[in-house]
Every structure is written in C-alpha cells, then in structure tokens.
Amino acid sequence: MVTRRCRKPARGTSGAALGLLPFPPAAAKMAAPVSLQVEFGGGAELLFDGVKKHQVTLPSQPEPWDIRNLLKWIKTNLLKERPELFMQGESVRPGILVLINDADWELMGELDYKLQDQDNVLFISTLHGG
C-alpha cells in the first residue's frame, strides 16, 4: 500500500495517528460495452429461433471483447438448440463461415479479433443436407 505523510508523527502513535493515509486504490479499468449486429444465415438461424439479425450490446468486462468471448456469450444468450451444430470447443464448427464487417475472420485474427463498437459479425452455415 502506498502511503503519504500528512504531518510529523508523535512518538508511540498508531499509523492513523501518524498521519499516514492510504492512497485510494486505482479504479479497475473496465472495457466499455460494445454494440454489435450479429447475423446468422445459410440455415444457422434455425438454431436461433429462426431470427437472422440480432442487435446486441455486450456488457462491460475487465478485458476487451473478442470473438472468443462473443461465442461464449452467444452460446449462453442467443443459441436456442443443438449447440453442437454451431460450436466445436471454443470456436465455431468447421463449415461455418464467419465474416467480420464483410471480411473473412481468418484475415482478422479469428478468435483473437478485438470487437469494436458497431461491428457486424455474420455466421453463415455452408453445410446443407441433400
């Protein structure tokens, strides 16, 4: 703890009486909330009650939001059925194309891409029955 001296101490007095006051702890820095449009297509929307477009606001958290954390949030908050058809481990299943602002997520850093306010994240299933 960092302290500062306010006045000359008297002999045999306690820390508070010595005038040693603790500095207030630095406020924990939180990442700001992030507003996004999250879209599902190619049949993936069926796992989300048939809703293709979702306007979401991700809450403040200690670390900046990335795609890895977004996928966890989607699984908890939007995904309605059969998570195994959308996710594999902490990523999307093979066969789901992910676009961030119309660019392939592989060019953007995949799971590590730091989300920005007003980003558009699109998940398109390329897997179809026959």
What's the Rg (C-alpha) of the chain? 24
**In the structure encoding, which two tokens stand for residue 49, read together?**
């009650």
Residue 5 has pLDDT above 80, yes or no: no
- 22 confidence band (pLDDT: 50, 70, 90): low
**pTM of the prediction?**
0.76
- C-alpha–C-alpha distance, residues 99 and 56, integer Å: 17
Mean pLDDT of 107-119: 97
Mean pLDDT of 25-54: 89
Burial class (CB in 10 A: 0-12, 13-18, 19+), 29: exposed
Q: Average pLDDT, whole number, for the chain?
A: 85
Three-state DSSP class for residue 46: helix
Residue 12 has pLDDT above 90, yes or no: no
Which residues share a beta bridge with 66?
Answer: 114
- C-alpha–C-alpha distance, residues 69 and 59, integer Å: 11
The length of the chain in residues reads 130
Query: What does the pLDDT read at residue 30?
Result: 85
Residue 91 has pLDDT above 80, yes or no: yes
